[in-house]
Amino acid sequence: MISRSSKDKIIRFIFFGIATFSILIISFIFLFLFSRAYPAIEEFGTGLLSNDWSVARREFGLFPALYGSVFVAVGALFVSVPLGLGAAIYLSEIASNRVRMILKPMIELLAGIPSIVYGFIGAILLGRFLYDTYNMRGVNSFFAAMLVLGVMALPIIISLSDDAMKSVPKDMKDASLALGATKWQTIRNVTIPGAISGISSAVIMGMGRAIGETMAVMLIIGSVMRMPVPFFDIFDTGHTLTALIAVQMGESHGIIINVLFTAGVMLFTIVAIMSIISDILQTRTKQKYEGKR
């Protein structure tokens, strides 16, 4: 017979092991990324952050791709946040149980569609449509990428925001209604503020998906390594860090590979910053609900 306390110890040890293992793996990935990026950083230094990219002249300024990644992701948010939040409010606060039971799985199913399909639809239908109808300069553009990524991020934003709003205690909503607030006032004053940490992490997850997306973007962004002119021109073509890695990887060798790893480090950093922001927001809200602020 194993005593209860030693059983407890064993279980704790197992979980400690699993946790340590996952942290180790992640650290190794980062170490590996960084060590492979290092030669490029050593050789080009801040040149990696410049605007000039030319393999022939051995200039590897990654800024256009870095900018493109952030630009596309932010643009996608303009599509996915209003739509996603609206849909989530409908699902959690307005739709009847029956409608919700049908819609929610359907929306979650959308998240499972392979990204290449979105990209394909974007390239063939959307790009062509924009080109034919509005005489846009080309089939590819930031705009098309933003739309496609915005739609791709929708399911995750809807689903997580809906969960967050559903988990605001009914007590709170009832308290507001009982004071004579309308349904909409209650949503605005109680439900959304109560769910704000969940909603922000939903948005950040959506943004993470947009920044990390590769295939769909590759098909519609144009893959041109230069800044849009002017820098906010959403109808220009450009590049992103992910698309750059995917496009260049096959035909590159030597130092270029190291440059691509630097692009990887940049991606990693962006995502890490976003998850830290999300964490801070979560803690803040939690403190608020525990009455510490």
Q: Which residues bind another protein (CB under 8 A)?
A: 96-97, 169-182, 185, 189-190, 193-194, 288-293
> ∠ CA(45), CA(259), CA(115), 5° rounding?
135
CA 11 from chain center: how many Å? 35
The H or E element spanning position 53 is: strand 53-54
Minimum gap (Å) between residue 148 Cβ and another protein: 37
Note whether 215 and 115 are within 8 A (CB): yes
Nearer to another protein by Cβ, of 82 and 169: the residue is 169
Minimum gap (Å) between residue 181 Cβ and another protein: 4
Helix runs in 91-214, H state only:
97-111, 115-121, 128-134, 142-166, 170-178, 183-186, 192-194, 196-212
Tell me 95's DSSP state.
Answer: S
Q: DSSP assignment of 193-204, as one string?
A: HHTHHHHHHHHH
Nearer to another protein by Cβ, of 100 and 137: the residue is 100
Nearer to another protein by Cβ, of 181 and 255: the residue is 181
Minimum gap (Å) between residue 182 Cβ and another protein: 6
Separation of first and last alpha carbons in the chain: 49
Nearer to another protein by Cβ, of 172 and 257: the residue is 172
Note whether 144 and 127 are within 8 A (CB): yes
Nearer to another protein by Cβ, of 253 and 293: the residue is 293
Nearer to another protein by Cβ, of 4 and 292: the residue is 292
Minimum gap (Å) between residue 41 Cβ and another protein: 46
Minimum gap (Å) between residue 293 Cβ and another protein: 6
Minimum gap (Å) between residue 156 Cβ and another protein: 26
Nearest-10 crossing angle of helices 196-212, 142-166:
150
Tell me 48's DSSP state.
Answer: G
Distance CA 225, CA 238 (A): 6
